[in-house]
Amino acid sequence: MRWFLVLVALFLAGSAAADTQTILVGLLAQERDAAQPVSPLDRDSSDEGVAGARLGIADNNTTGRFTGQRFVLIERTIPRGSNPTDAVRALAEKGVKFVIADLDASLLLEAVSTPEARDLLFLNTRASEDALRAESCRPNLLHTAPSRAMLADALAQYLMSKRWRRWFLVTGRSPGDRLMADAVRRAATRFGAEIVVEKEWAFKPGNARTDTGHVTLQTEIPAFTQVADYDVLVVTDEANEFGEYLPDRTFRPRPVAGTHGLKATAWSPVSEQWGAAQLQDRFERLAGRMMGALDYAAWTAARSVGEAAFRSRSSDPAVMTSYLRSPDFILSGFKGQGQSFRPWDGQMRQPVLIAGPRMLVSVSPQPGYLHQGSELDTLGFDGRESRCRF
C-alpha cells in the first residue's frame, strides 16, 4: 500500500510539473565602479539591486508552487562604455518579455528604444529622473523606483508637519544633485516652504578618517554654514561626496535632511512595521546584508510580475501587462498601503519612508494631505500635471 501511495504521489508531481508555466524575467544591469566608503561601517555591495530581484523571484516561486507557475531570472550586464542593444537582444532571444532594468537614465532610454525592446516591458528600479516620467516617458516602461519629485514631496510634507518652513538648501556639484535640488524647490513652492538660503558645495575635504580630516571639517563646515537663520538644512548630495559630514558640524544647531540625515527613501533597513521585519529577515538570509532602496525597487519589480501572473491566472505577457496597468493591480509592499502603477506615467504610487540613521521617523503622505483619487498621488506629479504623452 505504501509503494502504491508513493507511485501516485510521483505521478501527480510529474503531472503538475508538466503543467507548470515558466515565466522568464530578465535583469539588465550595467558595469559600475565600486562605491568609495565614507564610514568604516560602509561595506561594498556588489550585488546591490540584483539581490532584491533574486529575492523577488524566490518569493514568486514560493507562491508559484500552488498556481503552477515557475519564474526564472536571466541576468545580463552591459559592459562599461557599451550600448545595450546586444544585451536586450540576448534577453529577447531567450524569450524574456519582462525586464528589471537597473540602469542609469541615459542607458535606460537607449535600452527601451532598441528595436528588440518593442515587445518587452521594462521596470525601472534605479533611475529617479522626473523626465523619464514626463517628456521622456515610454509606453514600454514602468517605474518601481520613486522619482525625485516623489522623494522631495514626501520630505516636504514631513518638514511642513513639523512647521520647519524655512530651509537652507545645500546642493552638490553632480547633475543628479542639481536635479534633486530642482525637485526640492518645486516641493517648497508646492507645500508653502521658503528657501531662505541656497549654496553650492565647493569645498573638497580631505579624508575625514585621517588624523587631520575631522579637524579640517570642524573648521570648514561651520564657516560654510554660517548663514541667515533657518529651520532645517536640506542637502542634495546623491553622489555621497559630503552630505555625511554635515550633521552635528553646522554653525547653527539645526537638523539636516534630504539625501543625508533625515532621509526620504523608498526603503530603509530600519523599517520593521507592516510585516517589513519578515522581508528584511528573508533578504538578510539571502544576501548576508540589510536591504537598501535599490534592492527594494528590484524586489518590487520582480514581485509585480509575479503578482500579475498570479492574479490574472495567466503567463501570457499581453494579459499580464494589461493587468499590471489596470486599476485591479495592487501589490503589498510592506509599507502600510497597497502599491499600483499610475496610468498617466507608469510610476508606481507608494508610501515614502522618512528615516533617520537608526529609526523610522515617519511615512509620507502625511495626515491631512488629501487627493481626490489616492493620497499617494500627493507625492510627485499628478495626472493633471503630467507631461507624459504615450
| Same domain as 230, residue 102 | no
Residue 209 in this model has a pLDDT that exceeds 70:
no
Q: Which residue type occupies 35?
A: A
Distance CA(277)–CA(255), nearest Å, equals 28
Cell of 204: 573638497
Strand ranges of the sheet holding 141-143, from the earlier edge strand across to the other edge:
69-78, 21-30, 98-102, 121-124, 141-143
3-state helix, strand, coil in the chain (%, to 5): 40, 20, 40
Write the single-letter amino acid at 306.
G
Beta bridge pairs of residue 141: 122
The alpha carbon of 359 is separated from its chain's Cα centroid by a whole number of angstroms, namely 19
34 is a domain residue: yes
In a domain, 97, yes or no: yes
Lowest mean pLDDT among 76-90, 121-135, 204-218: 204-218
**Residue among 290, 263, 267 at smallest CA distance from 354:** 263
pLDDT reported for residue 41: 64
pLDDT at residue 300 tops 70: yes
Map residue 206 onto helix, strand or coil. coil
Instruction: Choose the final residue of a domain: 227, 250, 265.
Output: 265
In a domain? residue 111: yes
Sole residue written with cell 519582462: 98
Same domain, 76 and 155: no
User: Over the Cα atoms of the chain, what is R_g?
Assistant: 23
Chain-centre distance for alpha carbon 387: 21
Residue 93 belongs to domain with CATH number? 3.40.50.2300
- 14/140 same-domain check: yes
Task: Provide the percentage of residues in the chain whose pLDDT is more than 90.
Answer: 84
Residue 367: inside a domain? no
Cell of residue 41, nine digits: 561601517
Range of the domain at 138: 2-146+271-350
Structural domain contains residue 31: yes
Same structural domain, 163 and 225: yes
Q: Report the SS3 class of residue 160.
A: helix
Q: Using CB atoms within 10 A of its CB, is residue 282 exposed (0-12), middle (13-18) or buried (19+)?
A: middle
Q: How many domains does the chain have?
A: 2
26 and 138 assigned to the same domain = yes
How many other C-beta atoms lie within 10 A of the C-beta of residue 319? 14
Residues 204 and 291 in one domain: no
* Residue that is last in its domain, among 244, 265, 286: 265
**Which pLDDT belongs to residue 15?**
46
- Per-residue pLDDT tens digits for 270-282: 999 999 999 999 9
Quick check: 5 pLDDT over 70?
Answer: no
Does 261 share its domain with 335? Answer: no
Examine the fold and report which residue of 265, 297, 313 is the final residue of a domain before the chain moves on.
265
Would you state the cell numbers that stand for residue 149, as one nine-digit string? 519629485
Predicted confidence at residue 337, as pLDDT, reads: 95
The arithmetic mean of pLDDT across residues 115-139, rounded, is 97
Is 254 a member of any domain? yes
Same structural domain for residues 24 and 123?
yes
Is residue 9 one of the residues assigned to a domain?
yes
Q: Are 335 and 351 in contact (CB under 8 A)?
A: yes
384 assigned to some structural domain: no
201 and 294 belong to one structural domain: no
Predicted pLDDT at 8? 41
Same structural domain, 283 and 245: no
Query: Confidence class of residue 201 from pLDDT cuts 50, 70 and 90?
Result: very high
Section 36-52 average pLDDT = 78
The C-alpha angle with vertex 310 and arms to 307 and 312, in degrees rounded to 5, equals 100
Are 290 and 231 contained in the same domain? no
Query: What pLDDT shows up at residue 11?
Result: 44
Both 234 and 259 in one domain: the answer is yes
Collapsing DSSP to helix, strand or coil, 152 comes out as helix
Q: How many residues does the chain have?
A: 390
**Cβ-based neighbours of 291, under 8 Å, separated by 6 or more:** 51, 52, 267, 269, 279, 280, 283, 284, 299
227 against 11, higher pLDDT: 227
Q: Express each pLDDT in 229-247 by its tens digit.
A: 999 999 999 999 999 999 9
State pLDDT tens for residues 65-103.
Answer: 999 999 999 999 999 999 999 999 999 999 999 999 999
